[in-house]
Amino acid sequence: MIDEFKKICEVKENVNLKDYLTFKIENYAKLMIFPSNIDELKESLQIIKNNKLKYFVIGNGSNIIVPSYYDGVIINLKKLNHYEIKDDILYVEAGMMLNKLSNKVSNMGYKGLEWACGIPGSIGGSIVGNAGSFKSSISEVLISATLFNGKKIIEMSNEELKFQYRDSILKHKKNLIVLSCKIKLEKYDANELKKIILENNQKRVSTQDLINPSNGSVFRNPEGYSAGKLIDDLGFKGYKINDAMVSLKHANFIVNTGNAKSEDIIKLIKKVKKEVKKQYNIDLVLEQEIIK
Ligand SMILES: Cc1cc2nc3c(=O)[nH]c(=O)nc-3n(C[C@H](O)[C@H](O)[C@H](O)COP(=O)(O)OP(=O)(O)OC[C@H]3O[C@@H](n4cnc5c(N)ncnc54)[C@H](O)[C@@H]3O)c2cc1C
């Protein structure tokens, strides 16, 4: 079966996921494949289906917690990273990084993604979780996405993707793979955009823990509350389970201070969630995803 994949695209066996997850945790996966176009992706999915293999798609691995050993195939879409702008519409493939794209289109004098300059995720992952910051999100500029549903390529409009705060229909329909999307941009002064990006980056550096590996915010903000403040008020900053720690800088970040395991992160998430429920009767909802 490995040879079948090798005929189609790049394949890595027994992969150390440290290089593919922003948490920098030493987890392993049986196989990681790197299709570089849609035909390679389709053929790979056929092999996965024929061999009844477990799989999931990874973008930049900045919003997932993976088991210590994943006995299946991880489809890495980083080679699908082409983009172009025509008539103020950006066409971009799923593996392109959102933060890089934000800088590129802003430098070219296009407004629409300057809020995304610090989000270390792929376009695909960002559509799935409706990534956002500074009161904007990808749902505000996305026109439509092109997806593969296991059988054929389909187009879904912004409305059909049912975006909500850090949520879309794709979070719940795991058979849909984002291939590319269209984003509406607007011509704007590149120097002004540079200033906005600089300010956004400065705000991030001053409020977020960007030194220690993490997945960014752990929980969604509950309606009317800041998850970080609730957690901070309970004195969790610096609280550790082995090398997993509630960040000293931002209480809604859990960071890997060295050799944290996924189990340590999950235990810490559960501990914080339980305490917030006990003290405030608020059910925190996880923003990140635990892959089974
Ligand atoms: C320091 C830091 C700061 C962050 N700041 C922010 C922030 O300000 N705002 C914010 O919203 N997030 C933030 N994040 C979280 C994260 O970067 C975003 O959620 C990002 O959009 C995730 O993209 P990804 O490619 O890494 O997704 P991954 O973690 O690779 O995947 C997430 C989910 O999407 C699925 N997926 C990925 N690609 C595809 C595809 N092509 N088709 C179908 N499914 C796919 C995966 O299977 C998984 O279910 C931050 C993270 C870090 C580490």
pLDDT tens digits along 165-181:
999 999 999 899 999 99
Measured CA to CA in angstroms, residue 185 lies from 128, 141, 144, 256 at distances of 20, 7, 13, 36
Q: Which atom of ligand 1 is nearest the CA belonging to 94?
A: 41
- The confidence score (pLDDT) of residue 174 equals 85
Which one-letter DSSP state was computed for residue 238? Answer: T
Ligand 1 pocket: which of 63, 137, 169 to mutate (most atoms within 8 A of CB): 63
Task: Report the C-alpha dihedral over residues 209, 217, 102, 125, rounded to 10 degrees.
Answer: 140
Tell me: pLDDT of 190 over 90.
yes
For residues 205 and 218, give the distance between their C-alpha atoms in angstroms, rounded to a whole number: 18
> Average pLDDT, whole number, for the chain?
97
pLDDT band at 1 (very low <50, low <70, confident <90, very high): confident
4 Cα: distance to centroid of ligand 1 (angstroms) = 29
Which residue puts its alpha carbon closest to atom 18 of ligand 1?
121
pLDDT band at 53 (very low <50, low <70, confident <90, very high): very high
Q: Where in the chain is the domain with CATH 3.90.78.10?
A: 209-290
Q: Which position among 93, 102, 166, 262 bears the catalytic label?
A: 166
For residues 12 and 74, give the distance between their C-alpha atoms in angstroms, rounded to a whole number: 10
The answer to pTM > 0.85 is yes
Q: Which position among 106, 180, 217, 262 bears the catalytic label?
A: 217
Q: What's the rounded mean pLDDT across residues 36-56?
A: 96
For residues 36 and 288, give the distance between their C-alpha atoms in angstroms, rounded to a whole number: 27
Tell me: pLDDT of 245 over 90.
yes
Residue 193 beta carbon below 6 angstroms from any ligand 1 atom = no
Sequence-distant (≥ 6) Cβ neighbours of residue 13 within 8 angstroms? 2, 30, 31
Beta strands in the chain (DSSP E): 10-16, 28-34, 55-58, 64-65, 69-76, 83-86, 89-93, 110-111, 132-133, 136-137, 142-148, 153-157, 177-184, 186-187, 214-217, 240-241, 244-246, 253-256, 289-290
Residue located via tokens 């493939």: 93
- The confidence score (pLDDT) of residue 93 equals 98
The CATH number fitting domain 2-76, selected from 3.30.43.10, 3.90.920.20, 3.90.1150.10, 3.90.380.10: 3.30.43.10
For residues 106 and 221, give the distance between their C-alpha atoms in angstroms, rounded to a whole number: 28
Residue 204 annotated to the active site: no
- 3-state class of 244 per DSSP? strand
Is residue 159 within 8 Å of 49, Cβ to Cβ? no
Phi-psi region of 156 (alpha: psi -120 to 50; beta: other; left: phi over 0): beta
For residues 149 and 256, give the distance between their C-alpha atoms in angstroms, rounded to a whole number: 35
Tell me: pLDDT of 197 over 90.
yes
The CATH number fitting domain 209-290, selected from 3.90.78.10, 3.50.50.60, 1.10.8.420, 3.30.70.1230: 3.90.78.10
Residue 61 beta carbon below 6 angstroms from any ligand 1 atom = yes
In this structure, what are the phi and psi dihedrals at residue 246, rounded to the nearest 5 degrees? Answer: -70, 120
For residues 31 and 2, give the distance between their C-alpha atoms in angstroms, rounded to a whole number: 8
Q: Where in the chain is the domain with CATH 3.30.465.10?
A: 83-192
- The confidence score (pLDDT) of residue 183 equals 98
Tell me: pLDDT of 262 over 90.
yes
Ligand 1 pocket: which of 128, 140, 176, 205 to mutate (most atoms within 8 A of CB): 128
Q: Where in the chain is the domain with CATH 3.30.43.10?
A: 2-76
CATH code at 83-192: 3.30.465.10
Identify which of 80, 83, 84, 93 has the alpha carbon closest to the alpha carbon of residue 44.
80
Torsion 93-97-102-104 (CA) sign: negative
Q: What's the rounded mean pLDDT across residues 253-266?
A: 98
pLDDT band at 284 (very low <50, low <70, confident <90, very high): very high
Q: Please give the distance of CA 34 from its chain centroid, rounded to a whole number.
A: 17
Ligand 1 pocket: which of 62, 149, 177 to mutate (most atoms within 8 A of CB): 62
Is residue 109 within 8 Å of 90, Cβ to Cβ? no
Q: What's the rounded mean pLDDT across residues 249-272?
A: 98
Residue 35 beta carbon below 6 angstroms from any ligand 1 atom = no
